[in-house]
Amino acid sequence: MLLVVAETIPCRPQALVVGAGLTGCLAALALARAGWLVVVVDLLKREALVSRQRAYALSQSSLALFQHLELTPALAPHLWGFERLTLRANQGSAQTHFHWNDLSGDAPPPIGWIAEHRPMMSVLLHHLEQNPHITLQLGSSFSPARGSHGWQQGWDLVVAADGHRSLVRQAMGVGCWGWTYDQSCITVHVRLRGVDPTMAWEVFRGEGPLALLPMGKGSTQVVWSTSRARGAALVAGEPQVFSQALAHALPPGVELMTVLNRPQAFPVALGLAQRLHQGNVLFLGEAAHYCHPLGGQGLNLCWRDVSHLYAMGDKVGKGERPVTWLLRTYGRRRAFDTMATLLATDGLLRLFANSWGLLNPLRWMALKLLRHSGPLRSLVLRPMAYGWGPFAMPQGFNHGSANSGRAHPGSDAGGQRGAPVPR
């Protein structure tokens, strides 16, 4: 096991963050900003951490966190804003568009932003490295034995952000509820003809959902769900066969021009930790919950965890509250948003993304209702943007503030690609 030695600076509470993925990095930056001394460990070295070929759809709640951590100027050049989201059911060709004004904001925000993993991770690691209150230990094996106790005692707080297989969660004896889907998600970057660079798509197909996320400069990230067997065969097979299959899966009017990188397939599952903390250990991000990538909710949910950690960690850092208060309160504040997001994703998948013909009329009616009712679109879109329930974002995380100061989509104004990006 790794021996972690923290500097002893009086007055600052000390935290160990296990996992420097997108959740762990932001959790460490948030705690350091809230007045903590933080040590971050990850099994992977820097290059392995940044080299994931993936892009994420980020929501208003994630952008609000960037703003509060003053990361927006550094991240803005790597974000591409989209103003419309099209939901389409392939059977019967029903579709509906969500527009930014369905969010009922004061100013015209985009609906969301697409961010590529590599530049975003590089920026976050750079900030970790530059922060005098953070010690970063990459390539370090951290392996408490299953059921072992005591290893966490030297810290005021341990944040387990070590992903869905969380060793820390297992070591603390905390189980996970959930199930696996007989689906894999294929991710690949492509060039398409017939798409609007300010519009994202979620297409409900019989074999699973297919998302098209515009990334600027003419490229699009495809997140394509299919059966595990087909997913494995497609990514291992001939590139030509893959291209033909993808071209066939795209919505009418959208044509595949080029495949830009090697497709990868990930098995998908839903899981929820049976407790969100145990002793002085808090489970954050995918160590606490994971879901189907339908609707791009996973990372945004992880980062709402971080927003709450930041808000509560700030009170502890200022000496207004003890760490025990943070540990007790965190689970209560995060339970509803977490469960509602997991259930909504699973429900949508079961209702829309399957080949049961009997559900076709229901799907058609749901899309038609959405198409004609602005308030209904707003009702669906707002939880996706800000989370579920009144406590999804901490008090003081101002929705409206994520909606000001912007360039227009597609512009390169101020060095930004895409945007609008809050300042």
Ligand X SMILES: Cc1cc2nc3c(=O)[nH]c(=O)nc-3n(C[C@H](O)[C@H](O)[C@H](O)COP(=O)(O)OP(=O)(O)OC[C@H]3O[C@@H](n4cnc5c(N)ncnc54)[C@H](O)[C@@H]3O)c2cc1C
Interface residues toward ligand X, by CB under 6 A = 18-24, 41-44, 49, 54, 56-57, 142-143, 161-163, 167, 185, 187, 223, 266, 285-286, 293, 296-300, 302
Write down the least CB distance from residue 156 to ligand X, Å. Answer: 19
| Contact between 170 and 211 (Cβ < 8 Å) | no
Q: Which residues of 331-345 are buried (b: 16+ CB within 10 A; e: fewer)?
A: bebbeebbebbbebb
Nearest distance from residue 55's CB to ligand X, in Å? 7
Helix axes 374-386, 323-352, angle to 10 degrees: 140
Smallest gap from Cβ 297 to ligand X, in A, equals 6
* CB 18 to ligand X: min, Å: 5
The Cα angle at residue 24 between residues 388 and 43, in degrees rounded to 5:
140
> In angstroms, what is the minimal distance from the CB of 127 to ligand X?
15
CB 203 within 8 A of CB 88: yes
Q: Which is nearer to ligand X, 109 or 296 (CB)?
A: 296
Cβ at position 168, least distance to ligand X in Å:
7
Q: Give 94 or 291: the residue with its C-beta nearer to ligand X.
A: 291
The nearer residue to ligand X, 182 or 412, going by C-beta atoms, is 182
Q: How far is CA 166 from CA 277, 300, 326, in A?
A: 13, 19, 21
Q: How far is the CB of 328 from ligand X (least distance, A)?
A: 22
Smallest distance, Å, CB 130 to ligand X? Answer: 20
> Among residues 138, 109, 144, 115, which one has the least CA distance to residue 24?
138
Q: Compute the distance between CA of residue 66 and CA of residue 103 in angstroms, rounded to an integer.
A: 20
Nearer to ligand X, 42 or 83 (CB): 42
Give CA 423 to chain center in angstroms.
20
C-alpha closest to that of 198 among 258, 113, 116, 256: 113
Comparison of 88 and 289: residue with beta carbon closer to ligand X: 289
Give 7: exposed, middle or buried? Use CB within 10 Å, 0-12, 13-18, 19+.
exposed
Task: Give min distance, CB of 307 to ligand X, in A.
Answer: 14
Residue 417, number of CB atoms within 10 A of its CB: 20
Residue 41 vs 111, nearer CB to ligand X = 41
Nearer to ligand X, 56 or 100 (CB): 56
Residue nearest to ligand X (CB): 21
CA distance 393 to 61: 7
CB nearer to ligand X: give 2 or 257.
2
CB of 289 to ligand X, least distance (A): 9
Nearer to ligand X (CB atom), residue 61 or residue 96 = 61
**Cα–Cα distance, 213 to 55 (Å, whole number):** 8
Least spacing, CB of residue 78 vs ligand X, in Å = 15
Distance in angstroms (rounded) separating the CA atoms of residues 215 and 120 = 13
Which of 101, 264 has the CB closer to ligand X?
Answer: 264
Closer by beta carbon to ligand X, 296 or else 409: 296
Compute the distance between CA of residue 284 and CA of residue 164 in angstroms, rounded to an integer.
10
Q: How far apart are the first and last CA of the chain?
A: 42
